Structures are given as structure tokens and as C-alpha cells.
Chain A
């Protein structure tokens, strides 16, 4: 089931989310046809219970799909929509058509700065002190975010609020962590291929020990980030556990910094060009690292939780609070 879903999505990407199409949407093009194709495939309803006409999948089932979305630099918030819709359905609310982004920090006047996917989402799930509210996308002032899709948004005061305490930041962070894991794997594979193809001094640069050692370290970072992201998607229910989400997001952020640096180093000047696809992913990896709390924020949440326990060592903490 899980892999079928991912394979179907990857077929859709081939026709609707090629690198050229991603660039066009980044440049202000219409994401409507891409989103319509995603809706047609039912992907946005993956986590919605069957009783509400969804696919009723579990978090772990959609992890490969979110990795695939990340690997593709998908310019619409598929993962955030999956989780937002599941929350709405669980609360008995209407689940609207259209992509939903998650706004974790609206101010008192319902303005949000630097909202991810502001330009390609139709709705935002706004965090409120006691729950959340769904609001149609307001006016977007694009900002300087890495993927050229984010912006500052002024929302109208939501008509209804759902009382349902939820750590929306942890949910959104897990989605970005899964996307980052996918993007990291793709960047890694592309970098290995490049190292085997690019010839200098009469041999592929991948034959040089200095390059091999860097790529080995990159492999380690990618493996660790993927494992941490998978942990966030391993528990029961629809809400990724906040501490596992913390580890996923922080570990992915750390891996992203090191992996992007190596990927660009190995690709040389070619990797810096607009034309070469590497930048679609490395820009996003840096942007996603910043989104919904960067490494330091999530590290601190984990550290505070460990300090709040009165006894037990790190292994006990890891076993009982961070593993599922």
C-alpha cells in the first residue's frame, strides 16, 4: 500500500512536477493544474479516516510519499495538507478542497510572517491557544524565502475555532523533516552519479580519496537523517510525537547543512548555476531547515524534556520517550 501510493505519486510528478514545472511555479506560475492532479489521485486525503471518505492510512504509511515529495522539490504543501485534513476530519469539521498550509505563529491581528507555501496554498490551518482554525488564504506579500513560495499573509479573523489542543509546530516540523530526508537522499544519489561521471586529471573525481571520504560522510548524514525522520512517523495516531518530531527536524537540519555543502563542493561551478537542478533541492533544504523551528529550537525542546525528568540516564530517556 505504502509503496503503491508513492509509486503513483512519482508517476504524477513525472508529468506534472518536472524540474521545469517546479521552476515555472516558483517564478509565479499557476500551481492549480498540479494540485488538481494531486486531488484527482486522492493523495491529500491519505490520512483522513475512511469514514470521512479518506484512505485511512497511518502516519508510517505516508512517510515514503512525503520523502518522494521532498525529493521532487514539490512546490505545493501535500504533506501539510494531509495532516491538516486529518485533524479537521478527526474534529468533525468540513474538509475543504484545496491545499492547506500550517501557520503556527499568527499574531493578534491574524497576520503571519514567512508562511511556508503561502503562494500555492488555498487555506491555512492557524494555531490558536486552545486549538486551531481554518482560514482561506489572505493577501500574500511574497518574502525572500528559499523556495520563492513563502510570504507574509494577513488573514481575516476566522469564523470558527476548533478547541483541540495540538502541537501544530511539531506536526508541521515532522512533515518538513520527511521532505528533507527525501531531498537528502536525492541530492546524495545525484552527487554520487556526478562524481562517477565528471572526469579531471584523467579519471572520475569519485576515484580521488578526498572526494570519497566526503561522500562517505554525506552517506552517514543522509542515513541518520532518514532514520530520525522515520522515527517521527512511527507512532500511533495522527499527531507525530513532539519529541520524536524534534529529533527528526533537528537531525535533518544538521544533515542538510553538511550534505548541501558537500554536494555543492563536489559539483563545482556547475552546481551553482540556475540551470542545473541541484539548486532546486539545496535551496529547499536550507529553507526547510529554517521552517517551523531550526535545529537549535528543537534541540532545546529535547534537552528541556530530559532535564525535566528527575531520574534516569540518557539511555532510559531515549528508550522511553524517543523510541516507539
Chain B
């Protein structure tokens, strides 16, 4: 059985980061149209990421020796939730800041840390995640891309797909087979860092149904990698990826993907004086408030050095369900008055979120896979 998540308050010294972050965002982001901000953590702006780096707000939890700010996960929670609440274009640095940096800190050699972390903190090294392949989605352990040992390092062949921002990232951390065969499943997998500028790599961007281009297909054809491309231990890739996913799943981005739309609707209701939707609005706010409290409680576990994988899955599943309900409910509310036109920016935000909402419960592990993890945590499997 799972232990309860105790109500936790963000410590005042971390809460103190909120005011400067809000002030910065009021200047840099708030004026952008909702139709742009609604893209949330899919919005890409390298310049903005560098500005955050200049503020010292990238790699916030990394040690100072590597250019980080040595702040607590709560401080990062405050920063990230404010970025998401306004819809700041955070995609460029998002993966590096959220998971590649912490992964390199945990498993990297001293040389790897010195090489990558300071540039992550300046917003000069963007990362992408190479896990999925055409035939390996939920069944990640079946990946077939392979790195073979050579005299000088590794030779990489294979293919990744759905890699968010591969065509505008500097590095990919990929899960590949380094020994054994696909039948060996979790054994023989390793993580490698790939410099995407190397010869033999082709990146083909893929356009999504909202006409945005963020994910991509990546082909590796006899790519020669140096010895130190390996991150962590050879054959330990599966364990490393699992730990990485706890970071990937527990953050506030699993609650706030639709918040710019929600806030646009809230403003609309305030401006028009429409009060008949108060219960619908209150329901979404209440659900979000409970989820935020749960997310902070998980943050406390992470801060204590635990890996609350099952609890993170639970909050992600509940959070994405709410994110997906928001556009459905708002469309119903707006459409209940067919005689009133929907303001252009609100419509654009609604249209966008409605289109991409199905991805919320796919990316980072599908709904069914997460529920399977929870069931395991409950002792059912």
C-alpha cells in the first residue's frame, strides 16, 4: 500500500524566488499573445532560454561548481510553475534543465560534468531525449538502436523517433543497446550522449496536427562516437532511465499544460461579467489546487533523496486528466451561447489545446502504462 502524501509547505526561502521571477516574466513574456503562450513547454525560444540563464535560473539545483545555483527542488518548483503559468517559451532548455543536467550530475564522470553542466546553466547546450523508436513506444526495453565498441569509442546505428526538438538541440541522450540482443530486454542497454553535429546523423522534423514542428525522426548511420559518449555504466541504461523518468513525471508541467487557456477563459468571464459558469470554473480550480498540493508533497520526497516513482505516476495521470478536461469544459461553456462570438485569442488558445490535448497522456508514459505502474505499487502485479 502507498503511504499518504503529507501536506507540505514550500519553505519561505524558496518561496522568496517567486517575486523576482514574476517581475522578470511580466517584462519578457506577459505581453505575448495567448495564442503563443498557450504552447506552454512546447514553445521554443533560444534567446529567452539564454536570458533565463543570465538570471542564474537554469540548472537551479545543480552545484555552484558547475555553474548551478545549488538551490532546493522547491525553488525550482516555484520557478517552473511561474514559467508555466504565464506560458513562457521554455522548450529550448526544458529537457536539459529538467532531466539531462541532473542525470549527468548523478552518473557522469568529472570530465563530463565539467564539459556539459556549465553550458546547460548558461542556456548554451540544449538536449533532447532519444528513447522512443518506430517499433519501441511503451515497450521501451525493446529498443534496437545499437552502439558497438570500437578501438576509439563507439559506432552507432539505428533510429529514434518522436524526439522533441532534435533538429534544434545540440545533444541527445539516447537509450541504446550496447550488448546482447533485443530479447535480453532490460539487460545490455546503456545511455549515450550524442553530439548531433556529428557526421552520419540525419534529423527529419515531423509536423504535428496543430501545424507545429517540434518532434523529429533521427537516423544514425555508422556514427563514430568517442569513448566518453557513454554516460553512467555500460549495461545500466534501464536503471538510469527509470530514475530519470521520476524527474520527468513529477513536475508541475504535468498539471499546467492547459493553464494559459484556463486563465484566458477566467479573464473572459471576468470581463463579460458572466457568472453562470462559476461552478465549472470552481471545479477546475479545486482540482488543480489539490493536485498542486500533491505535486509539492512529491517534491518534498525528491528533495529528501527518495524516488517516489509510483506517486509521481499517480499525480501525472490525475494531472493530465485535468489538463485534458479543461478544453472540453471551456468549449462547452463557450458553445452554450452560440449567439456570442468567441474572442479571437481565446478561440486560438482553445483550438490549440483541444488539438494537442491527446498528447498529454502519451508523452512521458501513456495513461495505461502509468496505471500499470500504480497497480504494481499497490502490490497487484
- Residues of A that sit less than 8 Å from B by CB: 189, 192, 195-196, 206-207, 209, 211-213, 215-217, 219-220, 223-228, 230-231, 234, 246-247, 250-251, 295-296, 298-307, 309-310, 313-318, 322-324
In chain A, what residue has the closest Cβ to B317?
Answer: A220
**Given known contacts A195-B380, A231-B7, A314-B288, is B372 in contact with A250 (CB within 8 Å)?**
no
**Given known contacts A250-B282, A298-B282, A317-B285, is B1 in contact with A212 (CB within 8 Å)?**
no
In chain B, what residue has the closest Cβ to A255?
Answer: B290
Q: Which residues of B contact A310 (CB under 8 A)?
A: 270
Is B294 interfacial (CB 8 A cutoff)? yes
**Smallest Cβ distance from A178 to chain B, in angstroms?**
13
Cα-based distance from A227 to B8 in the complex (angstroms): 10
Q: Which residues of A contact B314 (CB under 8 A)?
A: 216, 219-220, 223
Q: Is the CB of A302 within 8 A of B379?
A: no
**Given known contacts A231-B290, A307-B278, is B375 in contact with A212 (CB within 8 Å)?**
yes
**Smallest Cβ distance from B330 to chain A, in angstroms?**
12
Q: Is the CB of A212 within 8 A of B282?
A: no
Q: Which residues of B contact A317 (CB under 8 A)?
A: 285
Q: Is the CB of B294 within 8 A of A223?
A: yes
Interface residues of B in 272-319 (CB under 8 A from A): 275, 277-294, 297, 311, 314, 317-318
**Smallest Cβ distance from A241 to chain B, in angstroms?**
12
Query: Which of the 9-residue segments B114-122, B182-190, B228-236, B259-267 touches chain A?
Result: B259-267
Q: Identify which of B4, B278, B289, B318 contacts A247 (C-beta below 8 A).
A: B289
**Smallest Cβ distance from A254 to chain B, in angstroms?**
8
Cα-based distance from A306 to B381 in the complex (angstroms): 43
Cα-based distance from A247 to B167 in the complex (angstroms): 44
Q: Which residues of B contact A302 (CB under 8 A)?
A: 281-283, 285-286
Cα-based distance from A234 to B52 in the complex (angstroms): 35
B251-264 Cβ-contact flags toward A at 8 Å (1 or 0):
00000100100110
Is B227 interfacial (CB 8 A cutoff)? no
Interface residues of B in 209-263 (CB under 8 A from A): 256, 259, 262-263
Cα-based distance from A219 to B283 in the complex (angstroms): 20
Q: Identify which of B85, B86, B294, B380 contacts A206 (C-beta below 8 A).
A: B380
**Given known contacts A231-B293, A247-B289, A313-B85, is B374 in contact with A220 (CB within 8 Å)?**
yes
Q: Is the CB of A212 within 8 A of B372?
A: yes
Q: Which residues of B contact A307 (CB under 8 A)?
A: 266, 269-270, 275, 278, 281
Cα-based distance from A230 to B374 in the complex (angstroms): 22
Q: Is the CB of A251 within 8 A of B286?
A: yes
Q: Is the CB of A303 within 8 A of B2?
A: no
- Residues of B that sit less than 8 Å from A by CB: 1-2, 4-7, 9, 81-82, 85-86, 256, 259, 262-263, 266, 269-270, 275, 277-294, 297, 311, 314, 317-318, 368, 370-372, 374-375, 378-381
In chain A, what residue has the closest Cβ to B281?
Answer: A303
Q: Is the interface of A mostly helix, strand, loop or mixed?
A: helix
User: Which are the 3 A-B pairs with shortest beta-carbon distances?
Assistant: A303-B282, A303-B278, A302-B282
18 A-B residue pairings within 8 Å (CB atoms) = A192-B379, A195-B380, A213-B368, A215-B380, A216-B317, A216-B378, A219-B374, A224-B291, A227-B297, A228-B293, A246-B282, A295-B283, A303-B283, A303-B285, A307-B269, A315-B81, A322-B285, A324-B9
In chain B, what residue has the closest Cβ to A233?
Answer: B7
In chain A, what residue has the closest Cβ to B322?
Answer: A224
Known: A216-B371, A299-B278, A302-B285. 6 other contacts (CB 8 A): A207-B381, A224-B291, A231-B7, A298-B282, A307-B281, A313-B85
Q: Is the CB of B293 within 8 A of A227?
A: yes
Q: Which residues of B contact A207 (CB under 8 A)?
A: 380-381
**Smallest Cβ distance from A182 to chain B, in angstroms?**
11
**Given known contacts A207-B381, A313-B263, is B1 in contact with A228 (CB within 8 Å)?**
no
Cα-based distance from A189 to B1 in the complex (angstroms): 8
Q: Which residues of B contact A250 (CB under 8 A)?
A: 282-283, 286
Q: Is the CB of B289 within 8 A of A219?
A: no
Cα-based distance from A195 to B375 in the complex (angstroms): 12
Q: Is the CB of A231 within 8 A of B380?
A: no
Cα-based distance from A101 to B246 in the complex (angstroms): 46
Q: Identify which of B263, B283, B375, B378 contacts A299 (C-beta below 8 A).
A: B283
**Smallest Cβ distance from B326 to chain A, in angstroms?**
10
Q: Is the CB of B378 within 8 A of A318?
A: no
Query: Could you say which of B2, B256, B374 has the most chain A C-beta atoms within 10 Å of its C-beta?
Result: B374
Q: Is the CB of A304 within 8 A of B290?
A: no
Q: Which residues of A contact B297 (CB under 8 A)?
A: 227
